[in-house]
Structures are given as structure tokens and as C-alpha cells.
Amino acid sequence: MTLRLQAFALALLLTALPMAGHAADGMLPVSQQVTLLLKVLTYNRTLMQRQTPELQLAVVYQPDRPDSRESFEAFQAEFEKVADRTVRGHRVTLVPVPVRSAEHWSPPTTPVDIVYVAPVADDLLPLLTAWTRERKIVSVTAIEGYVESGISLALVMRRNRTGVTISAPASALEGSRWSEEFLGLCRIVGQPAPGASSSDLPSPRAPSGAAGS
């Protein structure tokens, strides 16, 4: 399937995912986050070019914080329900990363390709973004406000439809290159970091497709 057709398939997915009636504005139900994330990763050229059969998806959460622990448990449960956890031939493996506090933060010793950030304390976010930028890890969350704190991608609900928000500077600093077809469906915020390719990360703009219309 060509990237253009894949982007069309993603647009259909973004409009087809049903919204839970109780979901808060801006928070995509966990049941839909996993499906959307696995699809979104196929448009990350950097990840797809890695010569490895497996991609490690870390989930960072705080076990002593109820909303964080519940977010992790729900995400893990939904991930395990997915029959096909491969992304264009790369098997995706979930790796729990519990963190008690910023003082106890220590990056995983094993390689990580993607990190999903559950609700965490504000002082943890700078430590996480420093790690993702140093190790060139794609950072993802379901909390759109975290994009302003340096997480590169948020899976959100906007106007009762699924959407994707990308931070241009954060994504560039993590070394990500996204397909133009995918970027056309996203809300892009911030200016790309110096040296970033304008073809990979265009200027801030609203989505032109289903992801946020």
C-alpha cells in the first residue's frame, strides 16, 4: 500500500473510531489510543527504517498515583487485546516503566523506541523529554497539554473526533521524520528546531484532514 493510500486509511480510522459518551473533551478513550498509536507509527520514517524486528514501547507511569496507575493498567489491557501488534513488519513489545517520583527517575537500561507517557507529576516531564531527545525516542501521550512541555505527539479527541497533535520542535529534537501525508492530518504546533528539515516538519498549522476538522 502506498503512503497516500495509507494516509487515506488513517483518515478513515480517525473519523470512524466511535467516541465514548463519557469521555472528556481532549481525552481520547484508552480503548482507541492503542489502535491509533499503532497506525500512527507506520508514518514515522525514522522508526520504519530501523533494521530491527522489534520496537520497544515503554509506558512511563507513577504506581503511587491512582490516575497514572489506572491509565497504565487500561493501556496495557487494551494493548494485550490487539491481535496484530506489528507495525510494517516490526513487532511492538510493551515495557512497563514505573517511576515513584522525579527523584527516583532512572532511564531504562534496555533500548526503547517509543514511550507512552501516562499522567505524571510535572517535575518528571523535563527528565523524560531530556531522555527521549538524547536517545532519539518517539514520545507519545494522550494529554495534549504535555505537548507544550516537550512531549512530541498527543492522541486526542477534538470536536468529538479523534485527532493528533505534533510538537514540531520536540519531534525534530527526537530525530523523527514523518510522512507529508500524515502531517497533513495533524495539528502542528511550535517552530521546528534549527536544522530540522522543513519538508519533514512544516510550519504550525491546523489539520487539513479528518484528524482535527
Q: Is 204 part of a structural domain of the chain?
A: no
Q: Is 155 part of a structural domain of the chain?
A: yes
pTM value?
0.83
Dihedral over Cα of 161, 16, 178, 99: its sign = positive
* CATH code of the domain containing 64: 3.40.50.2300
Q: Is 196 part of a structural domain of the chain?
A: no
Q: Is 63 part of a structural domain of the chain?
A: yes
> Which residue range is the domain that position 12 belongs to?
3-189
What is Dmax (Cα atoms) for the chain? 46
Residues forming beta bridges with residue 44, ordered by sequence position = 178
Q: Is 213 part of a structural domain of the chain?
A: no
* C-alpha cell recorded at residue 73: 493498567
Q: Is 182 part of a structural domain of the chain?
A: yes
The strand order across the sheet containing 90-98 reads 86-87, 90-98, 54-61, 114-117, 138-141, 153-158, 161-167, 187-189
**In a structure prediction context, what are the per-residue pLDDT tens digits for the chain, which is 213 residues long?**
454 545 444 554 454 444 444 444 568 999 899 999 999 999 999 999 998 999 999 999 999 999 999 999 999 999 999 989 999 999 999 999 999 999 999 999 999 999 999 999 999 999 999 999 999 999 999 999 999 999 999 999 988 889 999 999 999 999 999 999 899 999 999 876 555 554 455 555 556 554 443
**Residue 185 neighbours by CB distance under 10 Å:** 22
Q: Is 202 part of a structural domain of the chain?
A: no
Q: How many domains does the chain contain in total?
A: 1
Q: Is 209 part of a structural domain of the chain?
A: no
Amino acid, single-letter form, for residue 52: T
Residues forming beta bridges with residue 114, ordered by sequence position = 57, 138
Residues forming beta bridges with residue 8, ordered by sequence position = none
Residues forming beta bridges with residue 206, ordered by sequence position = none
